[in-house]
Amino acid sequence: MTLLDCGGRALDLSRTAIMGILNVTPDSFSDGGIFFARDAAVTHALAMVEVGADIIDVGGESTRPGAQAVSVQEELDRVIPVIEAIARAVPVPISIDTSKPEVMRAAIAAGAGFVNDVRALREPDAVEAVAALQVPVCLMHMQGEPRSMQHNPVYTDVVGEVRDFLRERIEACVAAGIPRQRLIVDPGIGFGKTVEHNLELLRRLDELRALGAPILAGLSRKSMIGALLGQPVAQRLHASVALALIAVQNGATMLRVHDVRATREAIRMYEAVYPRTGERI
């Protein structure tokens, strides 16, 4: 799988794909809601594409630790106008970051072509919705729920348990009619994991390649950086890029990031030294 069909727009996986984060929420942990307004969101999407984003991930509900849930209608009101405007403005695929099947359907109708679900299509009707929409989906591992996931995450073998969970979700999706070639997996760094769990997952990320699906890694500005370096969110660029390079070295095919230019330039240098040869899952 080199080109992934995202609702008629191609995502090239022959090189590391950069997913630019576009939060249209008032309570995002990272950008503080500065792209909440539609025009600001579109401007930022255009800027990310200009400096190397291969796909834009639009989210209307924060999944930071302690985040409060929002209604279907509120999420629709946040994301649909933005997706419609971005779809007219940029040539790259658009992803919808949601767990709600109603939002998935409306977002794909508005111009998105990829679903990014932190709950791995476990909400009622979510698997059926994606099967019918015929778009790729990223299945993420999360222990617990955003409001409580960081209270006391416990694993016997974090990598083995994450791998087994993702394998089960892949099989559930295939059984529901979603082709394997449309499935991407994400270990869920920072979602129901301690710093030690996150480091172990990153260290052994290549073990997830046994699942036979491209791996998406989201490490950008994560709290583990703050815990290890004592840095606030606004000062986590260099550590985020370092973690992104480690993720690629250990098997990641896609990176979900806030800082697109810096990450793209670092990956270009990495791939100049270590070229991607042939198809890599």
**Alpha-helix runs per DSSP H in 134-236:** 158-175, 195-203, 223-229
The catalytically annotated residue of 256, 261, 276, 280 is: 256
Secondary structure percentages of the chain, helix, strand, coil, to 5? 45, 15, 40
Tell me whether residue 222 is one of the annotated catalytic residues.
yes
For residue 8, which of 127, 111, 100 has the smallest C-alpha distance? 111
Report d(CA 249, CA 137) in Å as an integer.
23
Q: Print burial letters for 211-248: b (CB count within 10 Å at least 16), e (below 16).
A: bebbbbbbbbbbbbbbeeeeeebeebbebbbebbbbbb
What sign does the dihedral 17-22-27-29 (CA atoms) show? positive
Question: How many Cβ atoms are within 10 Å of 177's Cβ, its own excluded?
Answer: 12
Burial of residue 65, with CB atoms counted within 10 A of its CB: 0-12 exposed, 13-18 middle, 19 or more buried: middle
The catalytically annotated residue of 222, 261, 264, 280 is: 222
Tell me whether residue 193 is one of the annotated catalytic residues.
no
Instruction: Give SS3 for 1.
Output: coil
Q: Which residues are catalytic?
A: 222, 256
